[in-house]
Amino acid sequence: MTYIGRRGLLAGTAWALAGATGGRAAPARAAASPPSRHAATTQFRGMWIASVSNVDWPSRSGLTAARQRSELLGLLDTAVRRRLGAVILQVRPAADALWPSRLEPWSQWLTGEQGVDPGWDPLGTAVAEAHARGLELHAWFNPYRVANHTDLDRLASAHPARRNPEWTVEYGGKLFYNPGLPEVRLFVQEAMLDAVSRYPVDGVHWDDYFYPYPVEGEEFDDDEAYEEYGADFRSRAAWRRHNTDTLVREMSQRLREVRPAARFGVSPFAIWRNSDRDPLGSPTRAGIATYDDLYADTRKWVTEGWIDYIVPQAYWHIGHPTADYADIVPWWARTVAGTGVELYVGEALYRCEADSPEPAWRDPGELSRHLAFAGRYPEVRGHAYFSAKHVAADPNGAMARVVADHYGSAAVPR
């Protein structure tokens, strides 16, 4: 790697930002659990709790600390009531934090203003209260998203992106950190590990956002970084995939050092490559593929054992004409076979509505059939549902049907 020799310098640069964001004193570091990377013997039953744009929680910005806490505990209770065993809580939605980070500002989705202390510690509370209920708590981080706008002046005054504007790229009306810069890759790891080192989380979880989804007519402007670091690669695409691979591999190694018992998982868009472009790909014809469009070689991360589990977002119904759930799940089962990486299937509970434009999703039994189908493959070790507010509201009864048909007893602690 280009920057291993610079690690000490870059780490010093990253940690020099410590304290710039203010906030209360950090809690004492929790003792790590006993090392264990072995596959669990029980089924994973999880739900995502998205905080970005107040998708799931808090229900809106600016609630009192007591109301925020009450809503969070309500969602944990919902997980227990639905006989789930894990929650995946988004704690770094956009280069910010839902804990008193030493490196990044408090999230705007708490108080309505980035950098303002909400008066409590959401991540610390979530870990303690989840564990008290027998739930796993997986901390969900977004590595590179900075803001859903492009105005650096709208960020908190001490935000690392404002202090280092050369780290950022404007694309599609949003602001991102540049994955091609070694100092960026190191910093985002440090930002995430700040939480992991201080709280006994059960997992570190990333979603499908690495390089941003393509925007028609726009180019992601990483010319300068490519000129400096990409000379040894056959193409810009290969260099970008290398950058993403490097982030995944290094985070995997560092997580094993910082909190060995925590598992590392990724929830990618479910299509690695379509078979019309690569015989190793899935028999799908989706317009997007992670390898080609997001520069995320998700299959490689499994075969190399860099991650502990993968949760492909199989957000299509059985029989879909271009991305059939019944094609995607077997492909992933074959991919993880013999690797030691656990496969959980991401389920589109949010699509299950009585007025869905797709008839398949209007049927309350569609999701239950997904679990029955996936159950044919021993490599499928569980499911995760997007998202928490739909697990709670269950607008057409699909989640209740899943529980009745497949979760006859409470989740067994892993």
Give the whole-angstrom CA distance, residue 257 versus residue 85: 26
* Structural domain spans, the chain: 46-142+181-406
pLDDT of res. 42: 86
Q: What count of other Cβ atoms lies within 10 Å of the Cβ of residue 260?
A: 14
Give the whole-angstrom CA distance, residue 329 versus residue 270: 9
Give the whole-angstrom CA distance, residue 105 versus residue 114: 6
Sign for the CA dihedral angle at 68, 159, 104, 151 comes to positive
Give the whole-angstrom CA distance, residue 84 versus residue 317: 22
pLDDT of res. 216: 95
* Nearest partner of 204 among 260, 269, 148, 246, judged by Cα: 260
The residues, ordered by sequence, that sit 6+ positions from 5 with a Cβ below 8 Å of its Cβ are none
DSSP 165: G
Q: Name the residue type at position 299.
A: R
Beta carbons of 346 and 313 less than 8 angstroms apart = yes
Query: For residue 204, what are its two tokens?
Result: 């570190």
Domain 46-142+181-406 architecture: Alpha-Beta Barrel (3.20)
Sheet of 145-147: strand order equals 145-147, 174-177, 168-171
Distance of CA 379 to the CA centre of its chain: 21
* Nearest partner of 295 among 191, 185, 180, judged by Cα: 180
Beta carbons of 24 and 80 less than 8 angstroms apart = no
Give the whole-angstrom CA distance, residue 147 versus residue 167: 13
* Nearest partner of 286 among 244, 245, 315, judged by Cα: 315
Q: What is the pTM of this model?
A: 0.90
Query: E strands, 195-279, where?
Result: 203-206, 263-266
Whole-number CA gyration radius for the chain:
21
pLDDT of res. 412: 85
Give pLDDT tens digits along the chain (414 positions).
Answer: 222 222 232 333 333 333 333 333 333 333 333 333 333 458 999 999 999 999 999 999 999 999 999 999 999 999 999 999 999 999 999 999 999 999 999 999 999 999 999 999 999 999 999 999 999 999 999 999 999 999 999 999 999 999 999 999 999 999 999 999 999 999 999 999 999 999 999 999 999 999 999 999 999 999 999 999 999 999 999 999 999 999 999 999 999 999 999 999 999 999 999 999 999 999 999 999 999 999 999 999 999 999 999 999 999 999 999 999 999 999 999 999 999 999 999 999 999 999 999 999 999 999 999 999 999 999 999 999 999 999 999 989 999 999 999 999 999 877
pLDDT of res. 284: 98
Query: E strands, 164-234, where?
Result: 168-171, 174-177, 203-206
